[in-house]
Amino acid sequence: MKYKDYYRVMGVDRKASADEIKSVYRKLARKYHPDVSKEPGAEEKFKELGEAYETLKDPEKRAAYDQLGSHRPGQEFRPPPGWEQQFGDGKFSFDDIDLGDLFSGMTGGIHRAGRGGKVRMPGQDYEVTAHITLEDAYRGTEVDLELAVPEYDENGFPHRVQRAFKARIPKGATDGQRLRLPGKGGKGLNGGRDGDLYLNIVLHPHRLFRVSGHDLFLDLPLAPWEAVLGTNVQVPTLGGPVQLKIPPGTHAGRQLRLAGRGLPKPHGGEGDLFAIVQIAVPTVTSERERALFKELDEASAFNPRGHFEQEAAK
């Protein structure tokens, strides 16, 4: 069994009082609780903290934990002989047992989680974030998931079992979408139901498209003359390029809607794709281009700042 230093995780002295431990826990939980924290790695830190507090807040578990002595975190150690006797025949191997699983299965002193109590316990739920691409969300995809889940042997001891499986994410997912995989969490105990696995979908940022629900937004740069004269342009969509008609006199910021070219929705229908017009200005101009712009400047009566003058005249 690998040692975990619960006092060090909480940053408290081994002699800390129960009140002190509670107060430190609350402060750290406020900082790292995944429901309220924005800290990077908060989830992992809170898991460690929760495990440490679960054992240290309970006087009996804390006493049992203190019997293990103090070791380096991660160091392999053998529990004292008294422990093995309390657990039964003494032939039992603690090698692949997780300290946290062992303590969380304990109620009212040391005993085997499975055999000791006949209370039906639902299996633990797990939450996993699945990062997928926009293309995956468009077509639907499969993600490979791996979980280390405690499973109980015939003696009621928890062993970490690595479970790998594929989950199908149907098309229609978008950023922040949640999915549930029933029964794919931890095993239930004494006939309790198996826990569930919750998937939280996060979309990778896309080079071209920005996502809002099932709608997509795309910047569409036009040359000044294209915007003035109108044209047909080829626009990328997740389903392949399409032709888009640009009407004459299209100004910057205008949104051109391509109906049904967004992400598919889970229960039918699709979002839209909006192309937001930008006027791109050429940075390198040839002599001839400069001459033509100059001619346009002289020929045009267009005043884009007319409203400034009207405002000043008031």
Binding site for other proteins (CB under 8 A): 26, 29-30, 33-36, 50, 122, 125, 142, 164-170, 172, 175-182, 184, 193, 196, 198-199, 205, 210-213, 215, 217, 219, 252-253, 255, 266-267, 274, 276, 278
CB nearer to other proteins: give 78 or 168: 168
User: Which residue number, 115 or 139, has a Cβ lying nearer to other proteins?
Assistant: 139
Residue 236: CB minimum distance to other proteins, A: 16
Residue 21 CB, nearest approach to other proteins (Å)? 13
Calpha distance 148→114 (Å, rounded): 19
- Return the number of the residue (74 or 253) whose C-beta is nearest other proteins: 253
Residue 54: exposure state from Cβ atoms within 10 A (0-12, 13-18, ≥19): middle
Q: How far is the CB of 165 from other proteins (least distance, A)?
A: 6
286 CB-near residues (< 8 Å, 6+ apart): none
Q: Output the smallest distance, CB 227 to other proteins, in A.
A: 14
Q: Name the residue nearer to other proteins (CB basis): 177 or 231.
A: 177
**Which one, of 57, 153, 147, lies nearest residue 102 by Cα?**
153
For residues 216 and 261, the answer to whether their CB atoms sit within 8 Å is yes
Distance CA 178, CA 129 (A): 9
Beta carbon of residue 83, minimum distance to other proteins (angstroms, whole number) = 28
Smallest distance from other proteins to CB 172, Å: 8
List, in sequence order, the alpha helices (H) in 41-131: 42-56, 59-67, 81-87, 99-104, 113-116
Name the helix (H) or strand (E) containing 233: strand 231-235
Query: With contact defined as beta carbons under 8 Å apart, do 30 and 79 qualify?
Result: no
Cβ atoms of residues 216 and 147 within 8 Å: no
Q: Return the number of the residue (106 or 216) whose C-beta is nearest other proteins.
A: 216
Task: Select 19 or 297, whichever has its Cβ closest to other proteins.
Answer: 19
Kind and range of the H or E run holding 167: strand 158-169
